[in-house]
Every structure is written in C-alpha cells, then in structure tokens.
Amino acid sequence: MFSPALTTISKSKDPLRIAVMASGKGSNFATLLKCTEKNIINAKVCALITNNSDSGAFKIAKDNQIRTYLLNHKNYNTREELDYKIIENLSKYSLDLILMAGWMRIVTNILIDKYKNRIINIHPSLLPSFKGFDAIQQALDAKVKITGCTYHIVVPDVDSGKILAQAAVPINSIDNHHSLKERIQAAEHKLLPYAISIAGNAIREG
Ligand code: GAR
C-alpha cells in the first residue's frame, strides 16, 4: 500500500508537525496517522480541524486521541472569520504543515498567508484538469481515459498552487463515480507519504 522507498525525510530530524483539516470520511487522515505510526514518515499529527461532527475524520481523531477542533462554518459570518478561528486554534502547535484531506470549504488569504507554502490540498484529478467541485464526475462527463489525484500547495486561486505529486488513474468503460473514486482514493493513499516528504523537505530546507 505504501511506498517507503519514496520517502526522504531523515529520521534524525524532529518530526514534522502536521495539522489536518477534513470534512468527510477521513481515509486520507487515517492513512497519514498510519504512516506516522509505522514510521513511514517522520511526523506528528498535532490536531484535526473539522466542520462536521458526523464525519469519519472526527471519529478517527477521537479514536486516536488527536486534539480536535469542531468549527462549523455555519457559525461564522464570513470565510475570513472562520480562518481567524482556525489560526487561533492552531497557532500553539508550531506547525510545519497543514494537510487539507477532504476539506470542502474555500479558505482565504488570511489562512493562506499565515501558513504560506505550508498548506497542502489533495484533489481528485490530474490538475490543472477538473478544478473545483466533484472532479470525479467532471472527468466522467468529459469521457477522458485517464484521471488521477494531485497534492498541491494551496494558493488563493482554487486548485491552482504548485504541484507536489500526482498519480494517474485510468478510467475504464464500466467505471461509475463510486468505482472511480475508490481507485483515485487508493492512489491518494499510496502517494501520501511521498507528497508529505516533498513538502516537508521543502519547509525544512527553507
Ligand atoms: C479525497 O478523495 C480528496 O481528493 C477529496 O476529498 C476526498 C476526501 O476523502 N478532496 C476534494 O475533492 C477537494 N476538492 P477522505 O475524507 O476519505 O480523505
């Protein structure tokens, strides 16, 4: 499942300090936790930000004693207000990276500038194709033969920042949304340690 040969974070360095932002099932969050437990990447998951108490991610955090901040976007008047609250909660952790693992909200310059080049998003397409909402359905509708997943740095333009890592996933004639999503997510999980390593090394080497 994992690709340890691709990981390059030296074990002698302090663990990367990572927070996760997630709204959904949490399979990428779970993969990150597994990678840290198995020492596939030298990292510590410090906290989870979620906007959904029914999410799988919320349950995974509870089961793994990860400090969780439940910030429902409906309780904030603007995106900026929510971003200030996220910063208020995360600032104590001296984070190296924030991983958006299925965070289904647009963030603003407030958060992006605070953690410049340190926020990574996972997107279920081969960017720059199929930016935005439901990239899997977009790929099916476009009848392309190959799609995939992308890990990229978050910038103000949605799904447009520097690409850290990508994996291709072929689309079969019998694929539907569910089957394609499963294979894209498997590719995301496999690529995760490599993508985190690339981002972590960039941060540590300044
Ligand atoms: C992932 O497949 C990720 O690519 C997608 O959400 C899923 C979260 O799954 N992200 C986006 O669509 C962002 N635009 P998970 O909760 O099982 O990790």
Here the CATH number for the domain that contains residue 196 is 3.40.50.170
Average pLDDT, the chain: 94
Closest ligand 1 atom number to CA of residue 121:
13
151-160: average pLDDT: 98
Which token pair is 27?
């399979």
Atom of ligand 1 nearest to the CA of 135: 12
SS3 label, residue 125: coil
Predicted confidence band of residue 18 (pLDDT cuts 50, 70, 90):
very high
H or E, element range at 88: helix 79-90
pLDDT given at position 206:
73
Q: Is 26 in the pocket of ligand 1 (CB under 6 A)?
A: yes
Segment (H or E) for 169: strand 163-170
Question: Residue 6: inside a domain, yes or no?
Answer: no
**144 alpha carbon to ligand 1 midpoint, in Å?**
20
Q: What is the pLDDT of residues 107-154, one digit of tens each?
A: 999 999 999 999 999 999 999 999 999 999 999 999 999 999 999 999
**Where do we find the tokens 């349950």?**
59
Would residue 111 count as lying in a domain?
yes
In the chain, the number of structural domains is 1
Is 5 a member of any domain? no
Confidence of residue 2 (pLDDT cuts 50, 70, 90): very low
Is position 73 within any domain? yes
- In a domain, residue 3? The reply is no
Write down the pLDDT at residue 5.
41
Cβ 112 vs Cβ 160: under 8 Å: no
- Asked if the structure places residue 10 within a domain, the reply is no
Tell me if 181 is assigned to some domain.
yes
**Residue ranges making up the domain that contains 133:** 15-205
